[in-house]
Amino acid sequence: MSTVSQMLDAYPKDLGGINEVSLVACIEACQSCSQSCSACADSCLSEDSVSDLTRCVRTNLDCADLCEVTARVLSRHTGYDAKITRSVLETCAAMCKACGDECTKHAGHHEHCRVCADACRRCEQACRELIGSLG
């Protein structure tokens, strides 16, 4: 059982009917995507063609930050507000799509961009699945 699952199980109140499987998957996907985007940005900065990767670096860093914030917001349940959660998830999904699209442009030349694009696609999908379960 993952730490995310353990923390949700340990929460002393009812989670309000949220799909816990989708919630865990989304938090974990956001954490993974944040790490992948941070590492990809760093790898881009180490490439000889770094000037061609400026937009990719920026998109990676923005995506990493948004994914980290999303994971943190999703981990809080006291005073839960579905409208805020939905907004955060929609923003994260949009950023993951943009970052995945940008990394895909470079994936043929840079393996780190391919790996990052895949992580972004998984996170985007996890966010959309959780949005769908919110009703």
Whole-number pLDDT of residue 14: 84
Whole-number pLDDT of residue 72: 97
| Both tokens assigned to 84 | 């805020």
Compute the Cα dihedral for 25, 31, 35, 41 and give only its sign. Answer: positive
Whole-number pLDDT of residue 15: 81
- Rounded distance, CA 72 to CA 75, Å? 5
3-class SS of residue 120: helix
- Rounded distance, CA 42 to CA 102, Å? 15
Low-confidence ranges of the chain (pLDDT < 50): none
Fold of 19-133: Substrate Binding Domain Of Dnak; Chain:A; Domain 2 (1.20.1270)
- Rounded distance, CA 26 to CA 70, Å? 9
Contacts of 127 (CB under 8 A, 6+ apart): 26, 29, 30, 70, 89, 90, 92, 93, 96
Whole-number pLDDT of residue 80: 82
Whole-number pLDDT of residue 78: 87
Q: Which residue has the tokens 């699952």?
A: 5
